[in-house]
Structure 1
């Protein structure tokens, strides 16, 4: 991929160049620096030729180094210093743009797998949405996101979908599937798997016993960090019922209990403490987690949902800092029945890789808060789906029929892959689903009839074509879902057969929700530079998404189309910093 480097602050550089071209250069003095001794007056300025004046105007507008060089070559006498004048060293007015310290899990995209070699695919469900909000913020800033920051499943699962819902709480979710042509690979098909959770009404939900663990270190000062979280937590407090309980733990150089357990009916007291939070000091996140879990255990309510909500902008640099130690601590605490949610904020110091490890180890979920609207979505509108679990350790296993499918590729879920034997092992941790939540997974499959396009047949392979078990030859694949009801240690299982004759003849024939999810999956893959999408442009993705928007009361889908158009524009004109031309 071709890399192009562009200087971002061009206007400021142009203004500096213009100032340097004049015969009198003013001394810029910072507020905390003593005024220098006055220098002797400079000699009168030499007349500026018209050609140089025109060139200066170009520099002021464009900041182009090339234009400045052209000016000097065209009129060298206008810029030569007088022999008697000793010029000071150039002033360093513009600090270099700091390198980002954001950290993300580094996983390559899933590859196509031959059914003849590995017919079974297993993964843990994922209801996180952090990747989508981070990508949105980067694009809004006029920058393409780092490839590692794009997790396709989190982008797809960011949106609400009206999938078929279960009829009763005893069966916590329903499974539906759709098969449709792939829009980016002619001859291939997509198997869309949807899980819809049972939605608990507000009056029916259990009590909430929450510990807010808030990073109040010095880096949390900017408006997009602690002040933004305070707005979100105020919205959260307004949603509390009278029988809910909230306590607040903070950490910086050390830890502190800012609010002892307080009833939801005392909203003013909770909000008052939230409003008084201030940032300063280091980041003792490991100690903060220990203090928060101790607080949650001390006030544990067996009839409530006990959860810690950690809000932070970055890494831990005081106390327990080793990711493996933190992960082990969270795994041990998972057995206590306390859930963990993590909300990330800010840019430049976000340790998304650590957040993923913590949430995947601690019966948790992760989100990224980039705007007040996102805070409202995560902490108010989706309170049920983020706070109240209806199923734990949810795993999906798909077995493909070699008589129908030659190869398959799971789109996304690279950090959630499980071994085949993990599916039935109830000791293996997996993702959790909240009330009313949806989970989407998409497989791209190559029909058995196209197997010859993938690999040559083996010389010593039996000539006979693979056969499915009697009565099952028309199945494309078989979907199994295992889960545990909250508080239980033995899993249950749902099963769903996907039949070949259920395939849609065209993508347009599929429902809006499924087509829109495919568009989002295509966008994520395109951002990651996956070769399967080389011939499916951002314009194609925007067109597909726009045609599948359907009912969009909150405008999320319209916003997505704008994001795709922004990525398309950045690919055409470049961006500040290093740009991958794709």
Structure 2
């Protein structure tokens, strides 16, 4: 691994705390809880790890990881684990990336259809690679998960009859003077913890020998211990483990002490009977099924299924069957070296759950604490987006990301076709890059190209028709939302600013890491300038990751 110097900020601290844990507001001196945070703001950084005070050079990361003690220090309010950074050759890690979305001619393919995606694992995994001084494999980068890692200033739903708002905006493309970027943003309604229905959760933990690393089982314990602290009296947690065989180690309970003691006693060893573990976890979830509640298996593993039901098609078939019975699946990925991300991401998709990668206890707190309601409580299922571009206004387009979420046009109106779910407070962002008619596009004009239809010309004021289909959590028939983006949105569009500019900078970051050859020389320095200064903890961290990627690309 090449060592390089980078003066600046890279936050490596990790901390997990209960959402109910108060923290001191430095501006007011008053105690606040994470629930008091303003929209789009960040939770407090780890103890002593603010973006203004910590500077770590990449050449010191390995030394820092090796010298960090493995003892978990506990206090009344929090559990703190020193940074875990294990530099491992990623050659045995498994990814299943798709080719970058191709350009489409509106005259021949005016309709784009895809399933929503609320996963964020690709961003955290990319952060892990960059923090270790390595460029992530291109197949590990899914741009939509990079974008959706962050929150944006979308309008909140005014009522729950329609579970999410649909927001659109347009700006000129920073890397191409002939194109524009059109953003579609969804925002689900929020629920209070008291409103959340009872949860029947089965922690399914990989305790095989491959998990015997500081960045694996110890971090899993910390993550699930933090989630246990969020339980209410109506919730129940069971713990199933698997290694050479699978077994139930904790009967359903909401006793946080019992859960944490059971977690503390676990150790790693043996082979990986992941399929048997999943089967047992689903059986336990079914035995304790709560009608009208949340019934979910939470799988924590490095994804290394090598004994038993390891065939991906067989796993998917089982997971889809259980999904249809009302038991969903969340996957939490851990570790390096033999990490099977392809398995983790895909089985979560088929299980109507979500996939996250946990590279630190702070990320565990974000996923299983701050975002717990989003993770557990579904407000809309089988959410699909379809965009029809008017060829008289838009000549070419491409969807940024969502390569493994593409649906056929006929899938949109077919309620039997599964799609992504949206949880309480979830946000989903999609960005299209489009070429207005008359502008130079990526594809040269065709000699025998069809003339624009009369209907397209009659609707010349319309640039795009956006349709969304979704089902309510207990529904089987989809509902439809229509939005029209007017052509004037493009003629009046200026350079991206503020919140939209940051979203575009993250999209560009993902596309650069993917090797997108349509970025026209737009580089990491341009990304930093576009993102601008940020006062949000997670966004500040993004700026530092971008600086790391720039230094690595330049060989500095």
State the TM-score, normalizing by the size of structure 2: 0.82
Q: 1:158–1:98: structure 2 CA closer, same or farther, 3 Å change rule?
A: closer
- Relative to 1, partners in 2 of residues 1:7 and 1:486: Cα closer, same or farther, differing over 3 Å? closer
> Residue 465 of structure 1: CA displacement?
4.0
- Other-structure match for 2:233: 242
Q: Which residue of 2 aligns with 1:106?
A: 97
CA distance in 1, matches of 2:263, 2:89: 31
| 2:69 alignment counterpart | none
2:34 maps to none
Q: Deviations over 1:152-172 (max 9, x none)?
A: 000000012221111112211
Aligned residue in 1 for 2:396: 407
Deviation at 1:471, TM superposition (A): 6.3
Please say if 1:179 is aligned against 2:170: yes
SS of match in other structure, 1:503: helix
Shift of 1:453: 6.6
Corresponding residue number in structure 2 for 1:567: 549
In structure 2, runs of 5+ residues without a counterpart are: 4-87
Per the alignment, in what secondary structure is the counterpart of residue 335 of structure 2? coil
Aligned to 2:61: none
Tell me the distance in 2 between the aligned counterparts of 1:562 and 1:150.
18
Structure 1 residues 99 and 451: CA distance shift in structure 2, 3 A: closer
Q: Tell me, yes or no, if the aligned pair for 2:183 and 2:431 is still in contact at 8 Å.
A: yes
Calculate the aligned-residue CA RMSD, in Å. Answer: 1.9
Relative to structure 1, the CA distance from residue 564 to residue 448 in structure 2 (aligned partners, 3 Å threshold; closer, same or farther) is same
Q: Secondary structure at the match of 1:153?
A: helix
Matched residues in 2 for 1:467 and 1:198: separation?
A: 40
For structure 1, the residue ranges without an aligned partner over 5 or more in a row are 1-5, 9-96, 575-582
Deviation at 1:436, TM superposition (A): 0.3
What does residue 136 of structure 2 align with? 145
Secondary structure class of the residue paired with 1:302: coil
The Cα shift of 1:476 comes to 1.1
Per the alignment, residue 119 of structure 2 pairs with: 128
CA contact (8 A) 1:214 1:310 kept: yes
- Note if contact 2:174-2:495 (Cα within 8 Å) is conserved in structure 1: no
Deviation sequence 1:34-76 (CA, Å, 0-9, x none): xxxxxxxxxxxxxxxxxxxxxxxxxxxxxxxxxxxxxxxxxxx
Q: How many Å separate the matches in 1 of 2:208 and 2:496?
A: 52
Which structure 2 residues correspond to residues 327-366 of structure 1 after superposition, within 5 A?
Answer: 327-366=316-355
2:176–2:520 CA contact under 8 A, matched in 1: no
CA distance in 2 between counterparts of 1:456 and 1:304 reads: 55
Structure 2 counterpart SS, 1:532:
coil
Distance 2:310 2:464 in 1: 44
Cα deviations across residues 442-495 of structure 1 (Å, max 9, x unaligned)? 000011112577323433x55x54444586321110111101111211111111
Displacement of 1:428 in angstroms is 0.6
Instruction: Tell me: CA distance 1:465–1:481, structure 2 relative to 1, closer, same or farther (3 Å).
Output: closer
Q: How does 1:116-515 map to 2 (within 5 A)?
A: 116-262=107-253, 264=254, 266-450=255-439, 454-459=443-448, 461=449, 464-468=451-455, 472-503=459-490, 505=492, 507-508=494-495, 510=497, 512-515=498-501
Q: How many residues align?
A: 474
SS in 1 for 2:511: helix
Q: 1:14-33 to 2 correspondence within 5 Å?
A: none
Cα distance in structure 2, aligned partners of 1:98 and 1:522: 26
* Corresponding residue of 1:27: none
Structure 1 length as normaliser, TM-score? Answer: 0.79
Deviation at 1:502, TM superposition (A): 2.4
Larger Rg computed on CA atoms? 1
Measured at CA, do residues 508 and 114 of structure 1 come closer, stay the same or move farther in structure 2, by a change above 3 Å? closer
CA deviation after TM superposition for structure 1 residue 308, in Å:
0.5
Separation of aligned partners in 1, 2:149 and 2:441: 37
Residues in 2 aligned to 1:566 and 1:504: alpha-carbon distance in whole angstroms:
37
